[in-house]
Amino acid sequence: MNTRLFLGLGIAVCLAMASCKKDEPEDPIIPNEEELITTLTYTLEPSNGGTNIVLNFQDLDGDGGDAPLISVSGPLTSGETYIGQLTLLDETSTPVGDISEEVEEEAEEHQFFFVVDAVDVTVSYSDSDNDGNPVGLSSQLVAGAASTGTLQITLRHEPDKDAAGVSDGLITNAGGETDIEVSFEVEVQ
């Protein structure tokens, strides 16, 4: 009799434990996995015609490892207005991933910031998201007086686009997370 009682209790305990087990997903879903950006290219087309100026950053092995390759194809011309186009790539995948397409699709969640130090250039936005806030994949750059300095390009994910100055391109109050940040040595002649 004791054997039946213990056997019955054992089965009841096993059934109770099995029924209390929570359903867990087999593979967790990552809502917005960060993209790998290995290459940032800022192509500046002179509005009056001429040769494009290309600012390029490439880091195929990501953080650490080899230093990134950063280049600027030539000086900007004083008084010239340039039409700017940013391209972001993940060159570690096959086929190469066009991250700029993803940024465009998720425009409300992204914004580029252009921070100028010592060089006489101004950058303004030429594109916007569905809410009318700037994105920065397309821009206009005006080269001023002869000078040399840096142009830092930063992509923020989920910035506060309603914060003070953010729609004017001020990164100070933007918040969010930095997806990529690159500084280029730029010269205006």
How many structural domains compose the chain?
1
- The CATH number given to whatever domain includes residue 178 is 2.60.40
Q: Does the pLDDT value for residue 76 go beyond 50?
A: yes
Residue 177 lies in a domain: yes
Residue 1 lies in a domain: no
Q: Residues 31-49: what's their mean pLDDT? A: 85
Q: Does the pLDDT value for residue 11 go beyond 70?
A: no
pTM for the complete prediction?
0.82
> Structural domain of residue 149, as residue ranges?
36-188
The rounded mean pLDDT for the chain is 88
What's the CA gap between 183 and 68, in Å, rounded? 12
| Whether the Cβ atoms of residue 70 and residue 41 lie closer than 8 Å to each other | no
Residue 148 lies in a domain: yes
Residue 182 lies in a domain: yes
Instruction: Tell me which residue of 124, 130, 125 sits closest to 108, measured CA to CA.
Output: 130
**Degrees to nearest 5, angle at CA 41 with 153 and 69:** 90
Query: What are the backbone dihedrals phi and psi of residue 187, each rounded to the nearest 5 degrees, phi first?
Result: -125, 140
Residue 93 lies in a domain: yes
pLDDT digits (tens, 9 = 90+) for 107-145: 999 999 999 999 999 999 999 999 999 999 999 999 999
Residue 90 lies in a domain: yes
pLDDT band at 31; cut points 50, 70, 90: very low
Q: Give pairs for 22-25: CB < 8 Å, separation 24+.
A: none
Residue 71 lies in a domain: yes
Residue 62 lies in a domain: yes
Q: State whether residue 98 is helix, strand or coil.
A: strand
Coarse DSSP helix, strand, coil percentages of the chain, rounded to the nearest 5 percent: 15, 40, 45
Residue given tokens 């910031």 in the structure block = 113
